[in-house]
Chain A
Amino acid sequence: MKKIVLMGNPNVGKSVVFSRLTGTHVITSNFPGTTVDYSQGTTCLDKERVFIIDAPGTYSLNPSNPAEEVSSRILNEADLVVNVVDATNLERNLILTLDLISRGIPLLVVLNLWDEAKHTGVEIDVRRLEELLGVPVIPTVAVTGEGIADLASYLYKSVPLPPHESWTEDEKWVRIGHITSEVQTITHRHHTLRDLISDVTIKPVTGIPIAFFVILVSLWAVIFAGESIITYVSDPIFAYYLPFITQFSEWLGPGFVQQVLIGELIDGQIDFEQSMGILTTGLFVPFGIVLPYVIVFYILAALLEDSGYLPRLATLTDTFFHRVGMHGYGIVPVFLGLGCNVPGILATRVLETRKQRFIAATLIAISVPCMAKTAMIFGTLGQYGALYILMVIVVLALVYVTIGAILSRILQGECPEIFLEIPPYRKPRLNMVLKKTWMRLVAFIAEAVPYLFLGVLLVNILYATGFLSWFGDLLSPLIVGWLGLPKEASAALLTGFLRKDLAIGMLLPLNMTPGQLVVAVTTLTMYFPCAGAFAVLYRELGFSGLVKSVFVMVCAAFFVGGMMRFILIGM
């Protein structure tokens, strides 16, 4: 099968071209370097199937970070390279084009963002560019699909080899200078409102208050809209569901099957939050409580990403992240981790060195609560007032800063500086936002549901076999003596390996004081990643990295839990 590779600088729209060509849905956003892993798909062109690979963005073919190494490797297997070029920034993009030409692989150049270029007053003579480069050039606007049919028609023709040329570094720049001056005319344009917003949001004096405002509004939107979905959609659905499941429970009659599927009856009734059966709590926690917040979060995340605000936030927070061994890019994994830790930890690949990635991934797993954790923190502590919720959040934030600062000092390795292009603001497109939200929701559900069922099943089996009370006795010095919690809380600790939301939910029936709940919730959030996050930590950090990371987590969780116990509960 013919192999076609898409290559280009970061954030020029390769992934959009890719989804246009293959019909596959991939995540795209207005932040350089979103595609750190590569996607691949097949498509049918003129009755022949071809294989298309979307390579991560790269500025040149001298690999300087993991994403560029991946790109360079993929290139070796290509039959045809489609070089996606940002028409608004021809000069800089051409360096990669020349690198590709000297590789001697059949090459097509796609001039993407053609509309934006016209808009900003850049005009390019496409025919002249073709002549000078010696390869076909196709202008496109990938987000609307303009020019994609043209491109597709080239893909199954046999594209001639580019002229055999190679240059030294300096010759390349001379050649690029010559090409751009021949084909490009830039008309000066006046400052627009977009430029003004762009400047205001990146200057510290105005940008920092705006950033706080954006974050607060986002938080408020997640809470408000999430609660509304719960009140008007999920609660009514589960109210309809209750009579059916009650009947089913009566039909089953007492026994092990009822215990697993329905769970404990509270005052003779099914209680969705506390019964702990697969069909009761196992469905209610992910769909009734967590999913509504996740939906709102992902819509907001998509809006912030596609508008181009994130790189500005990265610049504004760079000073902070520098103190904890990272740089401004560190905001991206934290931000995604607030939705679910798994994509958050994957996103640590935007950082360059191993040290930075280790710090970022460990800190996410310890102190960036995912939506499932957050929903349960609100669910368990909300009834006692916002102060208790705030306590947990403040402690987690302090833990982030403290552990980050310690790790950045004791770990070996380099901490490179921020070096990030700030893209222009772009209006998010509704269909892109919805598509992206949908893909992430599907991933979330696929991730959450099996572990939840497993968790519920495991708890019930362990409970029935008496393991839980034995384990509770075993851990009681730690749980009762050190953390000041009831012995039964160890069951929650154990379930926390599989799903944190479920585990925090298990604390509800224990009748703890608000102080005890704060200690329990904080410790549970920090002490160990859930199974999904654990697996991805292993993938990203390797075995020894995982062990180190988990060691930091366990120590931090029990240290912080113990300290909070002395403050909140006393001896």
Chain B
Amino acid sequence: MIVAVIELQEGKNGTITEIRGGCGVQNQLRSIGIRESKDIFVVTRHPFRGPVVVRIDGKMISLGRGLASRIMVELAD
């Protein structure tokens, strides 16, 4: 099943299939290491529309909700 990172529960992980959005967003995310076919793990989600913290290649990254809703992942079972 393919969902956006924003929909993943804490402690879940998946493989990135697509980054939605313009060239700017794609470059911004890719250059920090968020790219297609990478494994992404949700460390925590902050309440009240707060950021999502993910781990990718052993690095932790805080993402705003808008960015987190542009990253599509294939859910791991």
Contacts and interface: CB of A to CB of B under 8 A. Distances in A.
Contact of B28 (A173, A315, A318, A419): A419
A319 B61 contact: no
A420 interface: yes
Contact of B46 (A89, A311, A318, A416): A318
Given A318-B51, A419-B67, A203 B43 contact: yes
A202 B59 CA distance: 13
Contacts of A421: 32, 59-62
A314 B62 contact: yes
Contacts of B62: 311, 314-315, 318, 328, 418-422
B15 to A, nearest CB: 15
A199 B55 CA distance: 11
Interface of B: 10, 24, 27-28, 30-33, 35, 43-44, 46-51, 53, 57-67
Interface residues of A, number: 34
A103 interface: no
Interface in A199-251: 199, 202-204
Nearest to B45: A204
Nearest to B68: A417
Contacts of A419: 28, 32, 61-64, 67
Interface stretch (A59-67, A276-284, A466-474): A59-67
Contact of B63 (A91, A92, A417): A417
B32 to A, nearest CB: 6
Nearest to A120: B58
Interface string A296-326: 0000000000000001001110110010000
B11 to A, nearest CB: 10
A-B interface, 10 closest residue pairs, ranked by CB to CB distance from nearest: A417-B64, A422-B60, A319-B50, A92-B33, A59-B31, A315-B62, A203-B44, A60-B31, A420-B62, A418-B64
Contacts, number: 93
A327 B65 CA distance: 12
A19 B51 CA distance: 35
Contacts of B31: 59-60, 92, 95-96
Contact of B66 (A199, A204, A417): A417
Contacts of B33: 89, 91-92
A24 interface: no
A140 to B, nearest CB: 20
Given A92-B32, A318-B51, A202 B44 contact: yes
Contact of A64 (B24, B44, B61): B24
A40 interface: no
Contact of A319 (B28, B35, B46): B46
Contacts of A92: 31-33, 57, 59
Nearest to A64: B28
A416 B21 CA distance: 14
A304 to B, nearest CB: 17
Contacts of B46: 204, 315-316, 318-319
18 contacts: A60-B31, A62-B27, A64-B28, A88-B58, A91-B33, A173-B30, A199-B43, A202-B53, A202-B60, A318-B51, A319-B47, A327-B64, A328-B62, A417-B63, A417-B64, A417-B67, A422-B59, A422-B62
A418 B66 CA distance: 9
Given A92-B31, A422-B60, 19 more contacts: A59-B32, A64-B24, A64-B28, A91-B33, A92-B57, A95-B31, A120-B58, A173-B35, A202-B60, A319-B48, A327-B64, A417-B51, A417-B63, A417-B65, A417-B67, A418-B62, A419-B67, A420-B62, A421-B59
